[in-house]
Structure 1
Amino acid sequence: MKKFFRLFYKDLFLARRLFALLATSVVLFLAAFFFPWLGILPLLFFCAVVVLLLVDLLMLYRTKAGVFARRHAPERLSNSDENEIRLFVENRYPFAIHLGILDEIPHQFQRRDVWFKSNLASRQQKWINYNLRPVKRGEYDFGDIRVYVQTALSLVARRYTIPQAQVLPVYPSFLQMRKYELMAISNRLSEFGIKKIRRIGQSMEFEQIKTYVAGDDYRTINWKATARHGALMSNSFTDEKAQHVYCVIDKSRAMKMPFEGLSLLDYAINTSLVLSNVAMLKEDKAGLITMAEKVGAIVPADRKPGQIGKILEVLYKEKTRYLETNMELLYSTVRRVMRQRSLVVFFTNFESLSSMERQLPFLIRIARYHLLLVVFFENTELRTLSEQRATDVEGIYIKTIAEKFAYDKKLIVKELTRHGIQSILTSPQNLTVNTINRYLELKARQKI
């Protein structure tokens, strides 16, 4: 008996229709004092409400488990992407019901709108889909599914709490990686803004001897093979392979700045994962180094099948630190880890010319032995401020400061170029496309 009443106390909710009927009953009782001709009509109305309430309760509670629900989610979520979550609901009552479904999503999303209304006929099943976009890596705790059931009378609602607690990890954007992977395999990267670069010169990586056709470079004609076959034969070359491509990620406080809910570090991590995968599809070797005031993780360049999985696991655990990058340590690490000339893609951020000049001597040293590509971020908020029209003295001051900082970014690019260092100044949302564009350009021009 105690269990029965506890069930009522915890899982029974009164609906608006019941309150409306009770309010109507009260009005009728009050009106009976002034209009005696109403007689027992208010009492009959109240009794009818009570009977309907009892019938509604009996319909809801005579079936022990009238509703079944289950959550279908991927084994892991992709950071900064829309991840599909599916809810399966089944009506086990012998009559049609109205449902209100509440899914307890992780607190990191700060959403209170994961609430769905639906109608189900007897024994009917239904799927409900919705998307979640995480902006931080780590573990996300999902709670239970709560289903509120009403009959056609809709006087009360019965709540079902279905245990569905689970913990899902949020990894760097592997969905974005797969998207670019499919495009790279089918040679459709241009659909995402990846430019086709005209090849300048040719590779010295010999592939085969083939029959000369009109349009081939006459300088590739193999005269000895031509003499043997009695027909023009030419040498065919292919892209140089097995080049080392290292992504070096700065984890210092400069990468903590958020943009559309995602930190610059997470943008760099997502792009590093995509770039490593594209490099391996191009038959290069991909590696990774993370750095702040001390060395983070090191993944030596390789092209084995499990290399991307290893890089993904390392990137999942990386977090922003709150000190400046130790550039001297970075230089010594690069010299120790990279035994041959490699493409070093350094993801960092400079907010002023002076901050870049402090790191410039070490960048120049790295560029002596490797092809260095420095990737840093454009402050889109400052660009917006500099483009706004100033209407007062304060607006003029803000606009001038914003233009000064934006100009410093352009000076940084010129200074790096003057010392023979490749650079990319990009907005965070265009980081992946611009980085892959530059990698393909450098590869097409045999820079690596």
Structure 2
Amino acid sequence: MPIPGKSLYKLLAALAVLAFIASFVPSLIMLWKGALVIAGIVVLLDLFLLYRRAIPEAERDVHSSFPLGVKRDVGLKLTNTSRYACTLDVYDHFPIQVEATGLPVHLSLAPDQTAELQYQVTATERGKALFRGVQFRLYSRWNFWLRDYRLSLTNEVHIYPNFAAISHLALLATDNHLSQMGIIKKPRRGQGQDFHQLREYREGDSVRQIDWKATSRLGKVISREYQDERDQEVIFMLDSGHRMRARDDELSHFDHTLNALLVLSYVALRQGDAVGLSTFAGSQRWIAPKKGYHTIQNLLNTVYDLQPTTDAPDYIKAASDLLTRHKKRALIIILTNVRDEDSAELKAAVGILRKRHLVLLASLREQKLDQVLEETPTEINSALNTAATHHYLQQRKASFDALTNQGVIAVDVAPQQLGVSLINSYLNIKSSGKL
């Protein structure tokens, strides 16, 4: 159905005013009738020409994959195939999983003219998403009418965890600026290093690194350079239960965990290690440890539509399943949210894993806890809330201390710091030779 335009309302208002005046001045009645007939002809002609006009053609330029929480551009290419100029509003039907800015767009196109426009979207939820169509609101020649038309134009996109951070990390690694992210590479101590190459002595090299045979042969001081052991395996145990649904900012704890998992996977693959994944407390997915950067894509395709469920985590079953699936010694990184009531079950699960593997436990701490402790109590209720928070954190710390005494490496951090903490822990494990 056509939509009346602003010009039509203005014309009707003018005719109404003329009719009101003619009711007091009879000599103007004929003028009003003539104006009414002419106005009706013009309005109907404008409507007829509007529906005779060809609808503009549209093409959408959109990436097939989006990183979560990162702004991306979407392009629309519009072509006026009509012999007449057209004015229109353009609105793109983007998925509910994204937020968009820059719509609708108002523009005019000359005959056979093509225009390219862009707007920005930010993905807020992982999974499959559909751009379903482009909607035009086409103005008639004299703006008495608007024609609403929806063009079917479907594009499917996959919204992944924030893989843009991997590109940023790769750039920093290339420029040797990892410290900008808080990543600290400590020098390896002790024996058991893998020999990498010979090079000229540098200031700060240990005397034990000097290769005296090569030094005497070449007539200059030569040092041995070592590298961390390669061909080891890292397996993530990812909790997809109800606790990971917690949210401190625009991303859930689960999404923060996936982002950290991908960044650490890139670092481990760069170190020459193999990376695998096992999920529990919900949809159970398994990726055997593999080397090579194609593993990142495999991880993305496996977890991009994975959502935390309402199930409770069963640590013992998850540990037993992993021990059955994988026999070779590996670094097992448990990603979860530890509560004090988990102490006995988690301790038993870690005991199962430590029979064959090295275990790193990474737990997400709600920022709300830190915010409560930062506030000064001013009344009895806030004082009780602060005291309860202190008690909860003490119990949580006791649970962590018990695991640490068992030989588990544990970190308890806010979601935003998880990636850096995991990378630093991994590099420390590599440099210490524990794996």
Tell me by how many angstroms 1:185 deviates: 3.8
Aligned to 2:94: 105
Tell me by how many angstroms 1:45 deviates: 4.1
The superposition leaves residues 143-164 of structure 1 with CA deviations (integer Å, 9 ceiling, x where unpaired) of: 2211111146321112232111
Match of 1:141 among 130, 150, 163: 130
The superposition leaves residues 42-62 of structure 1 with CA deviations (integer Å, 9 ceiling, x where unpaired) of: 345434533442453344233
2:311 pairs with 1:327:
no
Aligned to 1:14: 4
Match of 2:298 among 287, 310, 326: 310
- Alpha-carbon contact 1:378-1:409 (below 8 Å) kept: no
**What amino acid maps onto 2:429 in structure 1?**
L
- Structure 1 vs Structure 2 CA RMSD: 3.1
Match of 1:430 among 417, 420, 432: 417
Stretch of structure 1 that moved more, 257-266 or 82-91:
257-266
Match of 2:168 among 176, 179, 187: 179
Tell me by how many angstroms 1:269 deviates: 2.4
Tell me by how many angstroms 1:275 deviates: 1.6
The superposition leaves residues 156-190 of structure 1 with CA deviations (integer Å, 9 ceiling, x where unpaired) of: 11223211134333333333333333333443333
Stretch of structure 1 that moved more, 397-406 or 237-246:
397-406
In 1, distance between residues paired with 2:19 and 2:157? 56
Matches within 5 A, 1:55-70: 55-63=45-53, 65-70=54-59
Aligned to 1:360: 347
**What amino acid maps onto 2:121 in structure 1?**
L
Matches within 5 A, 1:19-418: 19-36=9-26, 38=28, 40-63=30-53, 65-109=54-98, 114-151=103-140, 153-191=142-180, 193-201=181-189, 204-292=193-281, 296-350=284-338, 352-367=339-354, 369-418=356-405
Partner-residue secondary structure (3-state), 1:142: strand
Match of 1:442 among 417, 429, 433: 429
Tell me by how many angstroms 1:359 deviates: 1.1
Tell me by how many angstroms 1:123 deviates: 3.3
**What amino acid maps onto 2:3 in structure 1?**
F
Give the alignment's TM-score, normalised by structure 2. 0.87
Give the alignment's TM-score, normalised by structure 1. 0.84
The superposition leaves residues 350-393 of structure 1 with CA deviations (integer Å, 9 ceiling, x where unpaired) of: 2x322234312322443464332211111123433443455544
Partner-residue secondary structure (3-state), 2:187: coil
Aligned to 1:3: none
> Relative to structure 1, is the Cα distance of residues 361 and 68 closer, same or farther in structure 2, using a 3 angstrom cutoff?
same
In 1, distance between residues paired with 2:213 and 2:102? 75
Tell me by how many angstroms 1:29 deviates: 0.2
Structure 1 spans left out of the alignment, 5+ residues: 1-8
> Relative to structure 1, is the Cα distance of residues 304 and 108 closer, same or farther in structure 2, using a 3 angstrom cutoff?
closer
- Alpha-carbon contact 1:244-1:286 (below 8 Å) kept: yes
- Alpha-carbon contact 1:204-1:240 (below 8 Å) kept: yes
Tell me by how many angstroms 1:346 deviates: 0.9
In 2, distance between residues paired with 1:217 and 1:389? 51
**What amino acid maps onto 1:327 in structure 2?**
Y
> Relative to structure 1, is the Cα distance of residues 430 and 87 closer, same or farther in structure 2, using a 3 angstrom cutoff?
farther
> Relative to structure 1, is the Cα distance of residues 56 and 134 closer, same or farther in structure 2, using a 3 angstrom cutoff?
same
Partner-residue secondary structure (3-state), 2:153: coil
> Relative to structure 1, is the Cα distance of residues 252 and 28 closer, same or farther in structure 2, using a 3 angstrom cutoff?
same
In 1, distance between residues paired with 2:71 and 2:101? 17
Partner-residue secondary structure (3-state), 1:34: coil
> Relative to structure 1, is the Cα distance of residues 130 and 153 closer, same or farther in structure 2, using a 3 angstrom cutoff?
same
Instruction: Tell me the number of residue pairs that the alignment of Structure 1 and Structure 2 aligns.
Output: 434
> Relative to structure 1, is the Cα distance of residues 189 and 112 closer, same or farther in structure 2, using a 3 angstrom cutoff?
closer
> Relative to structure 1, is the Cα distance of residues 403 and 231 closer, same or farther in structure 2, using a 3 angstrom cutoff?
closer
> Relative to structure 1, is the Cα distance of residues 120 and 442 closer, same or farther in structure 2, using a 3 angstrom cutoff?
farther
> Relative to structure 1, is the Cα distance of residues 231 and 184 closer, same or farther in structure 2, using a 3 angstrom cutoff?
closer
Aligned to 2:408: 421
In 2, distance between residues paired with 1:178 and 1:322? 33
In 2, distance between residues paired with 1:37 and 1:411? 98
Partner-residue secondary structure (3-state), 1:144: strand
In 2, distance between residues paired with 1:47 and 1:391? 76
- Alpha-carbon contact 1:364-1:421 (below 8 Å) kept: no
The superposition leaves residues 24-79 of structure 1 with CA deviations (integer Å, 9 ceiling, x where unpaired) of: 2112201221244645443454345334424533442333x241112222223333
In 1, distance between residues paired with 2:135 and 2:318? 52
In 2, distance between residues paired with 1:415 and 1:370? 18
The superposition leaves residues 222-272 of structure 1 with CA deviations (integer Å, 9 ceiling, x where unpaired) of: 233344445443322222222211111012222232343543333322322
**What amino acid maps onto 1:279 in structure 2?**
A
> Relative to structure 1, is the Cα distance of residues 405 and 97 closer, same or farther in structure 2, using a 3 angstrom cutoff?
farther
Tell me by how many angstroms 1:14 deviates: 1.0
Partner-residue secondary structure (3-state), 2:15: helix
- Alpha-carbon contact 1:79-1:135 (below 8 Å) kept: yes
**What amino acid maps onto 1:209 in structure 2?**
L
Partner-residue secondary structure (3-state), 2:74: strand
- Alpha-carbon contact 2:19-2:29 (below 8 Å) kept: no
Partner-residue secondary structure (3-state), 1:247: strand
Tell me by how many angstroms 1:347 deviates: 0.4
Partner-residue secondary structure (3-state), 2:63: coil
Aligned to 1:4: none
